[in-house]
Amino acid sequence: MIILCLNCGSSSVKYRLYNWDERRTLAAGIVERIGIKDSFCEQEVAGKEHIRIPQDCQDHRQALQLAVSTMTHPRYGVIKDMSCISAVGHRVVHGGEKFAKSVIITPEIYKTFEDLSDLAPLHNPPNLMGIKAAQEFMPDIPHMAIMDTAWHQTMPEHVYTYALPYEWYTKYGVRRYGFHGTSFLYVAKRAAVLLEKNPFECNLVICHIGNGASVNAVKNGVSYDTSMGFTPLEGMMMGTRCGDHDTAIDFFIMQKENKSPQEMNSILNKKSGLLGITGKTDMRDIQDAVDRNDDMASLALEMECYRIKKYLGSYCFAVGGAHAIVFTAGIGEMSDIVREKSLQGLESLGIVFDPEKNRIAKTRNSESEISAKNSKVKIFVVPTDEERVLIEDVVHLLDGTYQIHTQFTYRFQDPEYMNTLRCLEFAEECQKKPELLGIMPLIYKKAFLKEVKKQEGLKKRIQQIPDVQKYLPGIEKELN
């Protein structure tokens, strides 16, 4: 059974092709710069050279056509044609209050997503364009929707209700919805594995820090509170979004500079955050500027990390004490500086990080532990895998065994679960940075060693890692 996962953004289409029976990713790729000059498709296949195909794509239909031709290409493709695909899973950002779990897309469901576009005008329209295009290319197979908001439907009423006229909620659905839910679901379940605990006995604070950023308080294994709200604007300082601020400022500036509501909405979503302070949106560029003693870059870095720290502390109290703090997404996975500044000063909460482990933990291919030995709270870095959630939801919707996550167990909750594509890439990373092996959580390390036995290609890469015995004592037994 082969599953195609699609994640359609405003100017990109991410895809993953997965063979469920063989438990392996066939291909992962992305079409970028849709509707912009110089668009292209990049595809990655285990054991093969990465490819990049330049081709202008004016809309999502053309982008999906490029992705299809890449997956089915006679030389670098991985399937003969699209008839090999059993089902398609689509990421949908906003499901409102109507959906607490993934669903098979029917005309009625599609219409509901259209009706919800007012709540997510930047996200749902491109999601829907992707669904429509995919249904054109693959009309005879089921298409499923996996909603980012579904994970947060467990939030209690006193948490999701705003202190605004209550009729705004009853008439227009104004409430906290939260986003990044597919990522939070995956990371919460993986954190429970690393803690070796029942997921519904885990209290976590998860920091999804990327260009878009949010923090999730997970109490007894379900979402209890989250920093994003009615829209993805609330909460953290982000690449271009302002996050929390006094909304009276908006009216003040609208009067002073004669801005329309539409103009102000654009400023808050697209011209604020890191961009508004520094003129840059990429944290790597900002960190480089900090190293050059750029005062505005230093200010922006301190601002973002302080926001993270505030949410970390308050959510630890909200869940009654956290068993683990978890960082994920691009910045959370790769920026030791952001993690360091966000964690400093939390020792009174039992949160103590190891500076050396934190410095090493820069990989999107392995789970890491960066907590100090005397930390009462574990600190993990877990690369997110939203596509994996899509795959499993789609498969079990197909066979009729799917349930809401509180009544369902995912394959990636197995202590021996490994992402085979990531394993190979991780082994290659370790050839240059073998110390990454030394910060794997114990249960993850055991699963990795079992995977080494299974994969001959992985075994060969491990053998090429310098000083491998230093970081993986006893590895010779796995290699023989």
Active site residues: 148
Residues 6+ apart with CB under 8 A from 373: 354
How many other CB atoms are found less than 10 A from the CB of residue 179? 28
For 291-320, give the DSSP string.
HTT-HHHHHHHHHHHHHHHHHHHHHHHHTT
d(CA 222, CA 395): 23
d(CA 352, CA 355): 9
d(CA 378, CA 292): 33
Cβ 18 vs Cβ 391: under 8 Å: yes
Residues 6+ apart with CB under 8 A from 391: 3, 5, 16, 18, 20, 89
The torsion region of residue 174 among left (phi > 0), alpha (psi -120 to 50) and beta comes to beta
Q: How far is CA 178 from the centre of its chain?
A: 14
How many other CB atoms are found less than 10 A from the CB of residue 352? 16
Which ranges constitute the DSSP H helices of 344-409?
355-360, 386-399
Which is it for strands 324-328 and 204-209: parallel, antiparallel or unpaired? parallel
Sheet holding 103-104, edge to edge: 51-54, 40-44, 24-32, 12-19, 2-8, 85-92, 143-147, 103-104
For 30-90, give the DSSP string.
EEE-TTSTT-EEEEE-TTS--EEEE---SSHHHHHHHHHHHHT-TTT-SSSSGGGEEEEEE
Cβ 306 vs Cβ 190: under 8 Å: no
Query: What is Dmax (Cα atoms) for the chain?
Result: 74
Residue keyed to tokens 């956290």? 322
d(CA 426, CA 364): 8
